Structure 1
Amino acid sequence: MSAIKFYVIDINPAFTQKIKLKQFIKHIFSIEGKKLDRIDFIFCSDEYLLSLNQQFLQHDYLTDILTFDLSTNNKAITGEVYISIDRIKENAATNNATYLHELKRVIFHGVLHLCGYLDKTSEEKALMTEMENYYLNQFEVFHVETR
């Protein structure tokens, strides 16, 4: 059984619809033909994410997300997704989007990385953005299963 967990390090993400979001993330994996074992989403500050970026990727700049694929086999995906709430708030203001819209976009971005999407080239970035937008639209009409 797959698990999706949300953790807070040093800043509260303050969002609702967690059950719907977890079910929708599983739905994304299903659509993408990937098997999910576990994803931990860790919400943190710019400072915390910068230290991870420096330590693990030797990048000395702020970012909104770091995604680590911790899978040990090809059967199921295990990952950690670190998200800077400071960056989400700034990106939302810059992109004239709501905080919750930007938060979902970045969460789906991390999920897409774990599903194999890349964003290094302009073509990869365009496809990533297209898929983020697709899943953002799908989320709005997604119905939560109540069992």
Structure 2
Amino acid sequence: MSNPKNFQLFNTTKLDFPVAESTINKVIKLFTQRHSCIIEFVEIVLVDEEEIRRINREYLQKDYVTDIISFHYHDTNETKDTLITPSLEGTMYCCLPRIIEQSTEFNVDVNTECLRIVVHGLLHILGYEDSTVKQKETMTTEEDAIIQQITI
């Protein structure tokens, strides 16, 4: 018997997403176990550079291409620290062309970089920030901890 999907994936690009949906499901399961949270609704939308830049400009007032933008759907007063049982509810916009570029820059395979981006987005949906060096280090540690458990 197969597990139900914990997410919806929408690919608006002409590129194939290199990670199997079953692997993404496994990542989300490991994430929820590690962070003692439940999944409500996670949407992963694959977009091109033009669309990620438009979203970045419109919602974050930043005019550049980035790898991922995440939006959480919980109350703005709620944080991962104030909720009794944190939940994952949000949308991630992933720029697949940028992720492919980054995999070359970081000398990692595309699958691994895609997984890292998914975990990064989940962390943001859960309430993690990466504005400071310390916050970035914390997020990288969390990303690595989950990715190391996945065999592609």
TM-score by length of 2: 0.84
Higher helix share: 1
The list of structure 1 runs, each at least 4 consecutive aligned residues, that deviate by more than 6 angstroms after superposition, is none
Shift of 1:36: 1.2
**Is 1:137 aligned to residue 148 of structure 2?**
yes
Equivalent residue number for residue 20 of structure 1: 23
Equivalent in 68, 71, 83 of residue 68 of structure 1: 71
The 1:61–1:80 alpha-carbon spacing in structure 2 relative to 1, beyond 3 Å, is: same
Equivalent residue number for residue 37 of structure 2: 34
SS in 2 for 1:138: coil
Identity of aligned residues (%): 23
Equivalent residue number for residue 92 of structure 1: 103
Query: Structure 2 regions of 5+ residues with no counterpart?
Result: none
Shift of 1:16: 3.7
The 1:5–1:82 alpha-carbon spacing in structure 2 relative to 1, beyond 3 Å, is: same
**Is 1:81 aligned to residue 84 of structure 2?**
no
The 1:126–1:36 alpha-carbon spacing in structure 2 relative to 1, beyond 3 Å, is: same
Tell whether the 8 Å contact from 1:29 to 1:115 is kept in structure 2 after alignment.
no
C-alpha distance in structure 2 between counterparts of 1:140 and 1:8, whole Å: 23
C-alpha distance in structure 2 between counterparts of 1:16 and 1:10, whole Å: 15
1:131 corresponds to which letter in structure 2?
A: E
Equivalent residue number for residue 50 of structure 2: 47
Larger CA deviation: 5-14 vs 97-106: 5-14
**Is 1:120 aligned to residue 131 of structure 2?**
yes
SS in 1 for 2:150: helix
Number of aligned residues:
141
Query: Structure 1 regions of 5+ residues with no counterpart?
Result: 142-147
Shift of 1:125: 0.4
TM-score by length of 1: 0.86
C-alpha distance in structure 2 between counterparts of 1:117 and 1:51, whole Å: 23
Equivalent residue number for residue 111 of structure 1: 122
The CA deviation string for residues 12-62 of structure 1, in whole angstroms up to 9 with x for no partner, is: 343242113213302311220112101000001011100000111111011
Tell whether the 8 Å contact from 1:64 to 1:88 is kept in structure 2 after alignment.
yes
Tell whether the 8 Å contact from 1:2 to 1:36 is kept in structure 2 after alignment.
no
The Cα RMSD (Å) is: 2.0
C-alpha distance in structure 2 between counterparts of 1:135 and 1:30, whole Å: 10
Tell whether the 8 Å contact from 1:12 to 1:44 is kept in structure 2 after alignment.
no
Larger CA deviation: 55-64 vs 108-117: 108-117
